[in-house]
Amino acid sequence: MNRRLLPLALSTLAVLALITLFGHRDGAWAGTFNPELQITFESTTPETPSDFTSVFNLPKGDVNFAGVVSFIPKEWGIVRGDKIPVGADVGFLTAQATLGLINGACKDVVPVEFEMKNASLDRNDTVSFDDKDDNKTADYADDKDKNDILDGIDHYPEFLNIVFKDQQPFRRSAGISPVAGIPIMLQFLIFPPGTKIHDEIPSDEKLGYPTVTELQNVGDTSAEPEPGVITDFCTPLLSRNTSFGKTPDGKQLFVTPQAGAYDFVTVSVGQRDADGDGYENGFDTCAYDKNVGNPRVPYDGDVDNDGLDVACDPNDNPETGGTNSDQDADGYMNRGDNCSQVANGQEESKVANVGNQSDKDIDQIGDACDKNRDTADGELAKSDPSVKITIGGGGTGGAPKNCPDCYVLGSAPPGDGNSSSSKDEGGSSSGVIIIVVAVIAAIVIIGGGAALFMRRRRGS
Ligand SMILES: [Ca+2]
Ligand SMILES: [Ca+2]
Ligand SMILES: [Ca+2]
Ligand SMILES: [Ca+2]
């Protein structure tokens, strides 16, 4: 198999990621990270089912996000997932992601659309992210029981049990859409207030319900990287997510609280940029040398157009054989390789201690070429923007009294087995390890308070 042209392998997908938020510029941050967020409600009448839409815009030239978690105020009425039919329509998301394909400049704008469905919470009835039955379709995108609901929706993806350990969401929505011929799964998971999502994300109950956006299997530490066709994922990124207040047949989904003013807080993190040239490590094939050109522009600072800026290209002259889309011949094309000039591919991982794109400190620079293997290079840009929403003209606030199926603060989330009991508290226990950083090839999105995470760059 020609590894360079390996189609986006299913397990490598991580293709879309998205997010929400906005931001400020961090003084220590050499690049820019200024996400813009808007949240709008169809109705701000108290105690009423209401659609809400969040628009997230990360301008061109900013570093991409690494992770995002949005919080929904704890007074909001959120119907438990086990009270909504599995497969019911609960919202939709559209996004425009900018990708670099097959070692080209990062400039291809790819529209993505997901119809979100209410999804199973039963962690004991799982479906694989792989193609275990070898029918050429990943198991989550099959419909083995032929009920017109894809298996990633009516069964719980088993990788979520790795990513979130023993944390049980009480609401999950999922959408599965083809991108470049590959079924991509996007999920929104809502956890009880106080749930610890990640060390970098506050778990203060006062912030409300943490909502996480999961794109593909980001954060699954058991997944092995493979080369793929998406070699970069960069800004600009625009997404628009609408969550329905009720299903088409009138079932409540999100209900506004009593009159009052509420803060929607988003915690967001931008990717690291070790050399401070404005290009995040995962997007920078010369991570330790300031680029001469712009990797969004073909040939800029890269005469032979092989994806290696002249700042570190050992030969940038096409006339003398400089052009080489995989400089170290490890199967990962330069732009999709976290060590563009040191072999650390699938073969090397078997013979040398460099791992297959392994990156211990998750700074998007592979162990094989990382100058500080145990300490991340570059600062994380952080931003915790918030939007204040006033319901009913203001008041003292409180949860809606007309939502019998809404999650009750302090109760055990549904989901384990028959939901007769719950071994998790959803509280703050052990950790979820989502990696707040990096990934390339991932795009994600988020929505009305959802979050996103990306995993380390996985493959081209
Ligand atoms: Ca650079
Ligand atoms: Ca070059
Ligand atoms: Ca390499
Ligand atoms: Ca590293």
Instruction: Say if residue 136 is in the same domain as residue 150.
Output: yes
Which residues fall inside 5 Å of ion ligand 1, going by CB?
275, 277, 284, 286, 291
Q: 137: alpha, beta or left, given left = phi > 0 and alpha = psi -120 to 50?
A: beta
Instruction: Count structural domains, the chain.
Output: 2
Q: Measured between alpha carbons, how far is 23 from 299 in angstroms, rounded to an integer?
A: 31
Task: Kindly state whether residues 60 and 136 are assigned to the same domain.
Answer: yes
> Is 353 a domain residue?
yes
Residues 229 and 342 reside in one and the same domain: no
Q: Which amino acid is present at 292?
A: V
Domain boundary among 377, 401, 432: 377
The pLDDT tens digits of the residues spanning 37-69 come to 889 999 999 999 999 998 888 899 999 888 778
Residue 331's domain spans which residues?
A: 302-377
The pLDDT of residue 6 is 28
Q: Which of 339, 362, 377 is the last residue of a domain?
A: 377
- What was the pLDDT predicted at 180? 63
Q: How far apart (Å, rounded) are the C-alpha atoms in residues 215 and 86? A: 20
Ligand nearest to the CA of 321: 2
Q: Provide the pLDDT for residue 289.
A: 97
Rounded CA-CA distance 350/369 in Å is 17
- For residue 198, is it left (φ>0), alpha (ψ between -120 and 50) or beta? beta
The H-or-E segment that residue 264 falls in is strand 260-270
Ligand 2 centroid to 29 CA: how many Å?
27
User: Are 115 and 229 within one domain?
Assistant: yes
Pairing assessment for the beta strands 260-270 and 171-179 based on DSSP bridges = unpaired
Nearest to residue 54, comparing CAs of 22, 20, 96, 78? 20
Q: Which ligand is nearest to the CA of 343?
A: 3
Ligand nearest to the CA of 285: 1
Counts of helices then strands in the chain (DSSP H, E): 3, 19
pLDDT of residue 329: 95
Q: Do 344 and 311 fall within a single domain?
A: yes
Q: Could you report the per-residue pLDDT of 288-344, keeping only the tens digit for each?
A: 999 999 999 999 999 999 999 999 999 999 999 889 999 999 999 999 999 999 999
Same domain? For 250 and 335 the reply is: no
Distance CA(110)–CA(127), nearest Å, equals: 28
Using the Cα atoms of residue 304, residue 307, residue 309 and residue 312 in order, give the sign of their dihedral: negative
| Cα 66 to averaged position of ligand 2 atoms, centre (Å) | 27
CA of 227 to the centre of ligand 3 (A): 11
Pick the ligand that lies closest to the CA of residue 327.
Answer: 3
Beta strands, E only, 302-426: 381-383, 386-391
264 beta partners:
387
Shared-domain flag, residues 220 and 116: yes
Peptide bond preceding 236: is omega within 30 degrees of 0, i.e. cis?
Answer: yes
Residues in the 5 Å CB sphere of ion ligand 3: 328, 330, 337, 339, 344
Residues 223 and 310 in one domain: no
| Residue at a domain's end among 341, 360, 377 | 377
Average pLDDT, the chain: 81
Contact between 83 and 253 (Cβ < 8 Å): no
Q: What is the DSSP letter of 151?
A: H
In the reported structure, the alpha carbon of residue 377 is separated from the centroid of ligand 4 by a whole-number distance in angstroms of: 7
> Both 199 and 343 in a single domain?
no
